[in-house]
Amino acid sequence: MGKLGIQNNRFYLSHKLIVMVTLLILIASILVVLTNLSLNMIAASRDYTALLSKWSQLHYKAGIAIEQFGRTGTRSAYQEYGQLNHQRTQLKQSVDELFQKSIDADLIFVSLRSENVLANEISTLIFAFDRFNDWEIVQEIEQQWQQLQQFETDQRKLVEKLLQVGGSENYNQKIINQHLSEIRRINNRWDDHYEKLMAKVESASLAIKRIGLWISVILGILLVLIGVVVSVRAGKSIRRWEQSLYEKEILLSEIHHRVKNNLAVISGLLEMESMQTTNPEQALKESRNRIHSMAMIHEILYQSHSFSEINLDNYIGELSDYICETYVDGDKKIDLNTQLQEVTLNINQAVPAGLILNELLANTIEHGFEHKTQGSIMIHLNESDGRVQLLLKDNGKGLPPDFNLETANTTGFTIVKALVQQLDGELTIKNSEGPSMELQFSKSDASGSSNRYF
């Protein structure tokens, strides 16, 4: 796997994993909030039911006090009715306020806290009526509540009449009994509507419970699914990161191996040059260029998507430009023409191929145009059926007629012969129709040391 491919793949997986984990945390948070809200709304509906029940109890007690006052005419019974009615009025104000468009929370808090209702349940009760005020069932509850208030109003009017008759000098039991009978009739109708009100409240409570339950179930299932996906993703990412780490460990070992080999190659080249050279300055220049040609290969290699193969055409183009700039004097003009087919080559074949080109091209520029002020060099590269052909032609003076590569003992050609042998290739040199040198070798996944001939 290439260097950039590994990095891009890791980044992509990490990004997806972060998104999934963030989504998991978000849904978990929403689940906690909605579950808490659902529980509070269930508690609030229970408190609302309890509030109506207490209000109903006060209503029945007030009815008993009125009945007692009508039969006995005692003031204490009427005073008890007044106290009960005052308590009913306080609870009524709280319930009435819940149905308002703009709810006065302070009023409800003051009233309900006296009934030992928890603050968070009061807040949820206010929230429920404020948010779901347009629900049909809430509107039906309000209608039943208003009808009950109308019965309460009618009852109070009869109680006032009852008080007038019972407290006057013209005490008339028959009229009192009529009023009591009318109050009982109103109470019977009140009972019917109160049962309808409680049925509506129960339906709303069940709806709230169902909604809360389904939301919790759906989010819970989604949470479990995302948790499973995150676990699978995390497992895959960890395995890929482990694989990437393993590949990089192998890569680091390979890089150390190549550095060791290249240093050995450089050492061998310098030793060979020292044994044959008579011009230290020239030897140093040639050795520098050989080292640069090797360094250029690795520079191109580490900029590519692979640590084992390079594009030989790109490398030859850059290397030939560098050699021409190095060896061509300012008073000479040499045109370099390249026709390079795209060829991908293993690093262990690219190094010797690059060194061969370095030696041949440097020798062509330095000796082929020794007494010329201009010239041209052509480099062809192509691949056919897994076999690479590298052709170097020029219009210089060429090699001597009696030149024989096998017997040539200069440092440059000694290096070339060793490298051609390492490639298991063939180097053909011709002087007819212009000097030309053609290197051919078969592509292979060459491995092992690249300095075995030095």
Mean pLDDT, residues 90-96 taken together: 80
pTM of the model: 0.45
* C-beta of residue 345 within 8 angstroms of C-beta of residue 364: no
Residue 242 forms part of a structural domain: no
Question: What does the block give as tokens for 95?
Answer: 């319930």
Residue 62 forms part of a structural domain: yes
Most confident range, picked from 21-25, 55-59, 277-281: 55-59
Structurally, the chain folds into a number of domains equal to 2
Name which of 70, 76, 65 is nearest 172 in CA terms: 70
Structural domain of 297:
286-442
Residue 189 forms part of a structural domain: yes
- 193, exposed or middle or buried, with CB in 10 Å at 0-12, 13-18, 19+? middle
Residue 275 forms part of a structural domain: no
Average pLDDT, the chain: 77
The C-alpha atoms of residue 294 and residue 289 are separated, in whole angstroms, by 9
Residue 276 forms part of a structural domain: no
Query: In this structure, are 172 and 44 located in the same domain?
Result: yes
Residue 254 forms part of a structural domain: no
pLDDT in tens, 98-107: 777 777 777 7
Name which of 359, 336, 349, 320 is nearest 440 in CA terms: 349
pLDDT at 161 over 50: yes
Percent over 70 (pLDDT), the chain: 80
Q: Give the DSSP letter string of 355-412.
A: HHHHHHHHHIIIIITTT-SEEEEEEEEEEETTEEEEEEEESS--S-TT--TTT--SHH
pLDDT at 74 over 50: yes
pLDDT at 440 over 90: yes
Residue 107 forms part of a structural domain: yes
* C-beta of residue 378 within 8 angstroms of C-beta of residue 394: yes
Residue 30 forms part of a structural domain: yes
Question: What does the block give as tokens for 164?
Answer: 């007038």
Q: Helix crossing, 280-302 with 312-327: angle to 10°?
A: 150
Query: In this structure, are 294 and 145 located in the same domain?
Result: no
Q: Which of 183-197, 284-298, 440-454 has the lowest mean pLDDT?
A: 440-454
Predicted confidence band of residue 288 (pLDDT cuts 50, 70, 90): confident
Higher pLDDT, 2 or 85: 85
Query: In this structure, are 227 and 291 located in the same domain?
Result: no
Predicted confidence band of residue 4 (pLDDT cuts 50, 70, 90): very low
